[in-house]
Chains A and B, each alone.
Chain A
């Protein structure tokens, strides 16, 4: 066995080639890391630095304020309701799209993609046009004494609109790929549709569904544009966490704004962890 060492011509050639390749690798890696650093990592560090400049005590104090706590609570309420609605109806739509064939299905498909193309301010505008003064549905609601705009109902509605596609677009392809064979087998064994759905279908779409739910949650928590228009921004009443930050920045309470922003950033990093987890499980399932 002969191995080329550095003091042979060929050995040098081999090392030279290796070095060139490694240099290229290193260069491309550095450029990529620099890009990520400038856009994401450094700003994350920046917000950490600003928030902590005021010390831990201040952070705890800010987070204990009733306004802040109410804002977080409202964000959570909206997120949960959005989650439930978009998941339940999302699974139904995904099922219909994946399992049924009918005229106009492509139209329905396009509708599902529509919210992805709409700016959040436009969504807020939609709510105003429907439920605001002079809106299409306003008379009926005010006759019932229900306040929609500048109140929680409209905030929930716009968040739902924006989050509709996520669960559907994660679950539908999984359903398509799974096919009906397992459900058919369950039926021949006497299972009712709901039974087969619960015991056969649901476990199979589990990871795709959870992934869609995680994405929905992240999006719902982060919504600002639409809720800004429909909320009326009544401090302590119709203010979500994001609205709190917006108002705090406007009123130059930068410290509290940063603390709340940092909290949301921390929540999103945690959420990212679950998103990645579900995403990996979901893609592993279909053998990729």
Chain B
């Protein structure tokens, strides 16, 4: 009996010793992470999808039959796309001057570009209304000129542009920083003008980053609520966007219909986010 007990100790010790400790720690941590993410994210997400499409397409159909539904969807897609394009252009420009130009206040400018990450979207809406609404002299002047910003689609676009201001800038900036100016110098020695150099050498290198910025902008705009709900006036059929529409459905006790539309929107966004963050390995702040 004694010998038998002595014959086993080796295995016994390793199991009860350090290995158990690390095993537990490893699985303990992994388990915690998994439970956290599943409980906090997967379950709620699943709830929306299953509630929205639990009875097939019925909820979605019913939702889209509501007045202003299609217009809301179209408006959201259109304004998001417009914002993505404009953001791509100006974002590239901003990135270019922040990286390539030296001027006083460059650091401050860079910080200002990040401001939309810090400001609540609701406050953005309020700021825009304060300046461009009919109560302010600027707003009045615009209205006299026939340009309606508040309670109009232009206001929506403006709000989206503010919210997504940093996006393309932040995707393009690191790429520009890493670019080797030797290629551009080589192009110049071969006779290329400034513009030709940008077009043939710099732009192709930036294209993936610009595209990523545009796609992320688009995905972010699809779901924007806080600023749009303030500035658009939410006029059904005219300035009502999809997120506000979902909000209205939810508040009028039609959760399944809201869930159906919400699922469509978030599926589109999710795919875009996954694709672009994988492509550019971007840190979160952009969203």
Q: Find out whether A and B make contact in their complex, taking CB atoms under 8 A apart as touching.
A: yes
- Does A228 sit at the interface, judged by CB under 8 A? yes
B 100-115 binary contact with A (CB < 8 Å = 1; else 0): 0101000001111111
Q: Closest CB-CB distance, B103 to chain A, in whole Å?
A: 7
Which among A5-13, A54-62, A178-186, A218-226 touches the partner chain?
Answer: A218-226
Contact of B130 among A47, A113, A129 (CB under 8 A): A47
Contact of B246 among A115, A119, A288 (CB under 8 A): A119
Inter-chain contacts of A165 with B (CB < 8 A) = 284, 287
- A129 and B90 contacting across the interface, CB-CB below 8 Å: no
Inter-chain contacts of A102 with B (CB < 8 A) = 30
- B131 and A42 contacting across the interface, CB-CB below 8 Å: yes
Instruction: Give A258 to B136 CA distance when docked, in angstroms.
Output: 14
Inter-chain contacts of B124 with A (CB < 8 A) = 43
7 A-B pairs with CB atoms under 8 Å apart are: A24-B194, A32-B90, A46-B127, A89-B33, A118-B270, A225-B226, A275-B117
Inter-chain contacts of A130 with B (CB < 8 A) = 43-44, 47
Which among B8-16, B183-191, B204-212, B247-255 touches the partner chain?
Answer: B247-255
Which among A63-71, A92-100, A140-148, A198-206 touches the partner chain?
Answer: A92-100
A170-B97 CB under 8 A given contacts A117-B273, A276-B114 = no
Instruction: Give A275 to B127 CA distance when docked, in angstroms.
Output: 22
Contact of A272 among B97, B118, B265, B287 (CB under 8 A): B118
- B112 and A114 contacting across the interface, CB-CB below 8 Å: no
A258-B223 CB under 8 A given contacts A110-B274, A130-B44, A228-B247 = no
Q: Closest CB-CB distance, B7 to chain A, in whole Å?
A: 31
- B42 and A119 contacting across the interface, CB-CB below 8 Å: no
Given contacts A36-B109, A111-B37, A245-B122, 20 further A-B contacts (CB under 8 A): A35-B90, A39-B162, A40-B112, A45-B131, A47-B130, A49-B130, A50-B135, A50-B136, A102-B30, A108-B34, A119-B223, A124-B247, A129-B47, A161-B44, A215-B117, A222-B122, A225-B229, A261-B126, A265-B127, A276-B111
Contact of A96 among B29, B272, B273 (CB under 8 A): B29
- Does A73 sit at the interface, judged by CB under 8 A? no
- B223 and A269 contacting across the interface, CB-CB below 8 Å: no
- The 7 A-B pairs with the shortest beta carbon distances in the complex, nearest first, are A119-B223, A222-B120, A46-B131, A169-B284, A43-B127, A225-B225, A126-B44
- A215 and B109 contacting across the interface, CB-CB below 8 Å: no
Q: Which of A15-31 contact B (CB under 8 A)?
A: 24-25, 28-29, 31
A25-B101 CB under 8 A given contacts A125-B246, A222-B120 = yes
Whose C-beta in chain A lies nearest to the C-beta of B195? A24
- B118 and A275 contacting across the interface, CB-CB below 8 Å: yes
Residue with the greatest number of chain A CB neighbours at <10 A, chosen from B38, B51, B120, B224: B120
Q: Closest CB-CB distance, B68 to chain A, in whole Å?
A: 16
Instruction: Give A100 to B250 CA distance when docked, in angstroms.
Output: 40
Instruction: Give A4 to B119 CA distance when docked, in angstroms.
Output: 52
Q: Closest CB-CB distance, A19 to chain B, in whole Å?
A: 14
Instruction: Give A215 to B286 CA distance when docked, in angstroms.
Output: 10
Q: Is the interface of A mostly helix, strand, loop or mixed?
A: helix
Q: Closest CB-CB distance, A105 to chain B, in whole Å?
A: 10
- Does A151 sit at the interface, judged by CB under 8 A? no
Instruction: Give A120 to B121 CA distance when docked, in angstroms.
Output: 11
- A170 and B283 contacting across the interface, CB-CB below 8 Å: yes
Instruction: Give A25 to B97 CA distance when docked, in angstroms.
Output: 8
Interface size on A, residues (CB 8 A): 89
Interface size on B, residues (CB 8 A): 88
Instruction: Give A123 to B47 CA distance when docked, in angstroms.
Output: 11
Instruction: Give A262 to B97 CA distance when docked, in angstroms.
Output: 30
Inter-chain contacts of B69 with A (CB < 8 A) = none
Whose C-beta in chain B lies nearest to the C-beta of A24? B194
Residue with the greatest number of chain B CB neighbours at <10 A, chosen from A36, A126, A129, A170: A129
A 216-249 binary contact with B (CB < 8 Å = 1; else 0): 0010011111001100000000000010011001
Whose C-beta in chain B lies nearest to the C-beta of A129? B47
Contact of A29 among B101, B165, B251, B277 (CB under 8 A): B101
Q: Closest CB-CB distance, A50 to chain B, in whole Å?
A: 5
Contact of B161 among A24, A29, A39, A161 (CB under 8 A): A39
Contact of B243 among A95, A121, A218, A221 (CB under 8 A): A121
Contact of A115 among B32, B41, B96 (CB under 8 A): B41
Instruction: Give A273 to B114 CA distance when docked, in angstroms.
Output: 10
Inter-chain contacts of B223 with A (CB < 8 A) = 117-122
Instruction: Give A176 to B101 CA distance when docked, in angstroms.
Output: 33
- B47 and A119 contacting across the interface, CB-CB below 8 Å: no
- Does B230 sit at the interface, judged by CB under 8 A? yes
Inter-chain contacts of B97 with A (CB < 8 A) = 28-29, 32
- A96 and B101 contacting across the interface, CB-CB below 8 Å: no
- A170 and B222 contacting across the interface, CB-CB below 8 Å: no
Inter-chain contacts of A228 with B (CB < 8 A) = 247
B 135-174 binary contact with A (CB < 8 Å = 1; else 0): 1101000000000000000000010011001000000000
Q: Which of A136-170 contact B (CB under 8 A)?
A: 136, 160-161, 164-166, 168-170
Instruction: Give A164 to B284 CA distance when docked, in angstroms.
Output: 10
